[in-house]
Amino acid sequence: MLKLSACGDLEALVAGLSDHVLFTPFIPNEWSVAQIIHHLADEHMVSYIHIRLILTEHQPMLKWFDHGSWVKQADYKVPVTASLATFRNLHLRWYAMLDTLNPHGFSRVGVHTIYGEMSVDNILILSEAMCDDHLVQIARVLAEGRAK
């Protein structure tokens, strides 16, 4: 199941960082820390909606989103506190929803436009892995920024 502690890890990782550090893409062709945080909030919102669709519809279509296009939108320039709060509060809602599920609920499926059939469990595993990968990515970007 999704780790709510990952939200705490994310907040601890970026606590006290200046806007310069958060919004500077220190690695060519890679996102800034702020862009990664906003992306994580978006990814988790989409996953949350996908799970809601799976739980309320019969094998719904789960649409992929173009991460590269989303990162260019104006809301990726707002302070990261907005996405950190979204991430934290979304996880509270996610847990409330997941706490009520029995094994059948976790095995319900939707059909993803890229990945094909996906269960609630599959989405949770993918979301957790993406979160872990992005925490590593943030650490790498921050290390590169300190080296410059």
Whether residue 7 has pLDDT greater than 90 = no
Q: Which CATH superfamily is domain 5-147 in?
A: dinb family like domain (1.20.120.450)
Say how far apart CA 14 and CA 40 lie, in whole Å: 14
Q: What is the pLDDT of residue 137?
A: 93
Whether residue 9 has pLDDT greater than 70 = yes
Instruction: Name beta bridge partners: 147.
Output: none
pLDDT in tens, 29-80: 999 999 999 999 999 999 999 999 999 999 999 999 999 999 999 999 999 9
pTM above 0.85, yes or no: yes
pLDDT in tens, 91-126: 899 999 999 999 999 999 999 999 999 999 999 999
Q: What is the pLDDT of residue 147?
A: 81
Q: Which residue has tokens 């320039």?
A: 77
Q: For 113, which DSSP code?
A: T
Domain boundaries, given as residue ranges, for the chain: 5-147
